[in-house]
Structures are given as structure tokens and as C-alpha cells.
Amino acid sequence: MSSLYAGQPLFEAGTISKFTFVLRVVWRNVIMLAHNVSIVLLVIGFTSGLGRIKFGWLLLGLVLVLCCSVLLVAILGLIAARFRDVPMIVTSGMQIAFFVTPVMWRPEQLTERAQLAALLNPLAALLEVIRAPMLGAVPSTAAWLLVLATLVVLSGLCVLLYVIGRRRIVYWI
């Protein structure tokens, strides 16, 4: 039996929760992040010093980013099971999101109108709650509010989609 999805027999048997696959994807990416954190800590140690990191804020930011990641993977996984073109669309969308999110640039370098767009970008807020504590600053209140709003919206969307489609996932795979 050839399938595009390796977990299809487990889904069909119904022995494993659907969220197990979501958590597996997120865990794999957390492990990759853990491998790269050593380089980030090395750079911070040589430039500004590890003593400046605000570990409490960083931990809170990581937890919120992890929660948003789990919800987003669950939503995109459900939609991708139904529509096979979604993974390619997500790949293209992530490339665009990289350029409109302040990863390689700072929002202060933009015009006022563009700064507003960066301020309303949920990915920028998620980045801010991780980056600011690592640089010794407290993330802005606007970033925290946008992250919490993103978490609420993703939670609602995830619950809605899984109530509608959870029984059909097996047939879509």
C-alpha cells in the first residue's frame, strides 16, 4: 500500500489520537531548535553577554510560541489532509512571510505606514516575544497582546475545524 502519508494505517485503525501527529511534528521542530540554540547562545555570549537574557520572559514567550505552533500545525494539517495543494501553498506563504516579518531588518527602519503593518503582523509579535528577552529587553505590551490574540483566534479556529472535520480526516488521507 503506497500512501503519501506514513501514518495512514494508524489513522485508519483509530488507535492513536490525531493530535499525536501534530505534537510529533512540533516536537521534531523543537529538537531542531534545540540544536541551533547553542549557536545563538554563543553569539549572544560573545556580543552582549548571557547575563542580560531575561529568562522568565523568554520562557513565557517560548511557551506561547509553542502553543501557537501546535494550534497552527493542527489547523494546517487538517486543511492539508483535505486539500493536497496546501503544503505547497504553505511553503510559498512562509517565504513571503519571511520577507514581511522583521527577521533580517528592524521595524524602525520602515516608514510609519509600514511600521503599522509590521506591528499588526502576528509573526513579528511571536518573534518579538522571543527576541527581546534574548537581547535583555522586555517585549512590548503590543507584542504580548497580539500574541495572546493570535492564540485565541488559533484556538477558536482549531476547535471549529476539528469539530467539523475530525471524523472525516481518515477518509481524506
- Determine, yes or no, domain membership for 135: yes
Count of domains for the chain: 1
- Determine, yes or no, domain membership for 2: no
- Determine, yes or no, domain membership for 97: yes
What is the three-class DSSP state of 35?
helix
Select the more confidently predicted residue: 134 or 155.
155
- Determine, yes or no, domain membership for 159: yes
Q: Which residues contact 86 (CB under 8 A, 6 or more apart)?
A: 76, 79, 80
What cell does 37 get?
540554540
Grade residue 65 by pLDDT with cuts at 50, 70 and 90: very high
Grade residue 99 by pLDDT with cuts at 50, 70 and 90: confident
Grade residue 3 by pLDDT with cuts at 50, 70 and 90: very low
Give the mean pLDDT of the chain: 84
- Determine, yes or no, domain membership for 1: no
Q: Residue 78: is it exposed, middle or buried by C-beta count within 10 angstroms (0-12/13-18/19+)?
A: buried
Task: Please say if the pLDDT value at position 7 is more than 80.
Answer: no
Mean pLDDT score, 66-71: 96
Between CA 45 and CA 43 the distance in angstroms is 5
Between CA 170 and CA 173 the distance in angstroms is 6
Select the more confidently predicted residue: 12 or 78.
78
CB 57 within 8 A of CB 144: no
Q: Residue 143: is it exposed, middle or buried by C-beta count within 10 angstroms (0-12/13-18/19+)?
A: buried
Mean pLDDT score, 24-30: 91
Domain containing 138: what range? Answer: 8-172
Grade residue 14 by pLDDT with cuts at 50, 70 and 90: low
Mean pLDDT score, 139-165: 93
CB 162 within 8 A of CB 71: no
Between CA 148 and CA 155 the distance in angstroms is 10
Q: What is the pLDDT of residue 2?
A: 39
